[in-house]
């Protein structure tokens, strides 16, 4: 949801997340939670893809001039997301669920058109 009181960068991120949620729903994902926050950080989207719990990082850019949005998910960010996912699983006692990490990259051009790229199982604890 775009907010005029928020920075343009934050608005771009929120718009990207809205686009990602719509796209994921069309693919059959069941959205459980958006912007899960705790003392450790934030998970953009938590959803089910069938019986698999999916922790989804959304990256939104205005161009691919500096690479695809997905390429901006660093090793450090992956480790942080793994830590956040462990916290989430513990908080909700979901250790019996299979889980994975997906990344959604969205590029929105100056005309407002967007391109979406989804990487399922983008990384794991063993990477």
Asked if residue 125 has pLDDT above 90, the reply is no
Q: Which of 118, 101, 97, 124 is nearest to 21 (CA)?
A: 118
Note the pTM of the prediction, 2 decimals: 0.90
pLDDT, one tens digit per residue, over 44-93 is 999 999 999 999 999 999 887 778 899 999 999 999 999 999 999 999 99
Would strands 114-123 and 52-61 be described as parallel, antiparallel, or unpaired?
unpaired
pLDDT, one tens digit per residue, over 14-56 is 999 999 999 999 999 999 999 999 999 999 999 999 999 999 9
Instruction: Give the pLDDT band (50/70/90) at residue 6.
Output: low
Task: Write down all domains in the chain, each with its CATH number in brackets.
Answer: 8-123 (3.40.1350.10)
CA–CA distances in Å: residue 114 to residues 4, 60, 90, 117: 21, 10, 36, 10
Q: What is the pLDDT of residue 127?
A: 58
Asked if residue 7 has pLDDT above 70, the reply is no
Is the distance from CB of 104 to CB of 56 less than 8 angstroms? yes
Q: What is the number of residues in the chain?
A: 127
- Positive or negative, the CA dihedral 81, 87, 91, 93 is positive
């Amino acid at each position: 949801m775009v907010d005029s009181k928020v920075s343009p960068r934050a608005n771009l991120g929120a718009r990207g997340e809205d686009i990602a949620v719509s796209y994921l729903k069309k693919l059959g994902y069941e959205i459980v939670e958006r912007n899960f926050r705790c003392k450790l950080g934030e998970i953009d989207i938590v959803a089910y893809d069938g019986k698999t719990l999916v922790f989804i990082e959304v990256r939104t850019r205005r161009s691919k001039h500096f690479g695809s949005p997905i390429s901006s998910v660093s090793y450090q960010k992956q480790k942080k997301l793994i830590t956040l996912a462990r916290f989430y699983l513990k908080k909700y006692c979901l250790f019996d669920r299979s889980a994975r990490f997906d990344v959604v990259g969205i590029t929105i051009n100056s005309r407002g058109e967007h391109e979406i790229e989804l990487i399922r199982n983008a990384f794991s604890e063993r990477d």
